[in-house]
Amino acid sequence: MTAFIFPPSKILVPTDLSVTSAPALHFARVLHEQFGGAIYVLHAQHFDLPPYFSSGQLQNLSRELKKSIKVATEYLRKESAAALGFEPEVSVVSDPPVKAILQASEALAADLIIMGTHGRRGADRFWLGSVAERILHESTRPVLAVRQGMAAAPLQHILCPVSFSGVGREALEYATAIAEAGKLQLTVLHSVEEGDKPLDCSLVPDDVRGRCSVEELTYHGDAAGSILTAAREIKPDMIVMGAERKSSVFGGFFSTTTERVMQWAEAPLLVVPRSASNQ
């Protein structure tokens, strides 16, 4: 049984106050309206100070930063309320973004993190990396990655690629919880790669079938390619998949199945990490 909770009672939405973050707030609003849960919005403003600054310059800068945090907090509150339709709890911190997000998610005991990602794809996208990709790898909590340009709408159909690993089973349990909570359609996908043995059992346990409407699909080919093909064909509102916090090469310029799906799928990607109970 997964240790993660759905519907989430606490949703953390990090924002850099750019257009990249806007889709995350829009999806947070949709999930809040469909499933409930409190929303907390976080902005991290961080400056690497040059080593040649004098003590007087550092003091002056410190005073200006305190002023800027007040201004940023009011701006964040206004922009968040406009996107969400209500005023959430907001916070502005002076830490690097990845550190700030991970610390805030643990301190808050967030059930879900929703992050916006930029729209670049391909080699440039991969080699540059992003805060969202690091959070996907390092977070101990589920992360919903929403790429710029995706339109938010109430969930009706979930796609869950499965494996028979511990984290794969947890992703299926989490996807089932989403489908059950919203009375959604759940499609479960298994990729049969070259050299794999044929399945000798059902992808979906009987208890899952009793909780929501389930369809099973089996595709042949590499995992990421199968997921992307299925997503193009069935057009889910969300993809839910498990991801180990490790790197494995899947060809081309992509480092993991998760990153490849995040870059190319036309639906938001919800990544379920291995829970502490299954480390």
**Cβ proximity of 51 and 110 under 8 Å:** no
Identify the helix (H) or strand (E) that includes residue 215.
strand 213-220
Dist CA 188 CA 212 (whole Å): 12
Residue pLDDT tens, the chain, 279 long: 446 899 999 999 999 888 888 999 999 999 999 999 999 999 998 766 667 767 776 677 667 677 788 889 999 999 999 999 999 999 999 888 999 999 999 999 999 999 998 755 554 444 334 788 788 888 999 999 998 889 999 999 999 998 766 678 889 999 999 999 999 999 999 888 766 655 555 667 777 888 889 999 988 888 889 999 999 999 999 999 987 555 443 333 334 788 788 888 999 999 998 764 454
How much is the CA Rg of the chain, to the nearest whole Å?
Answer: 20
Helices (H), the chain: 22-35, 55-84, 97-108, 123-128, 131-138, 166-182, 206-209, 223-234, 257-264
Residues 6 or more apart whose Cβ sits within 8 Å of residue 200: none
> What's the pLDDT at 130?
74
Q: How many CB atoms are located within 10 Å of the residue 154 CB?
A: 12
Dist CA 50 CA 274 (whole Å): 39
Q: What share of the chain is helix, strand, coil (3-state, %, to 5)?
A: 40, 20, 40
**Domain annotation for the chain: domains and CATH numbers:** 10-147 (3.40.50.620), 157-278 (3.40.50.620)
Dist CA 138 CA 189 (whole Å): 25
Size of the chain, expressed as the number of residues it contains: 279
The CA distances from residue 261 to 21, 61, 189, 250, 252, in Å, are 19, 42, 14, 11, 13
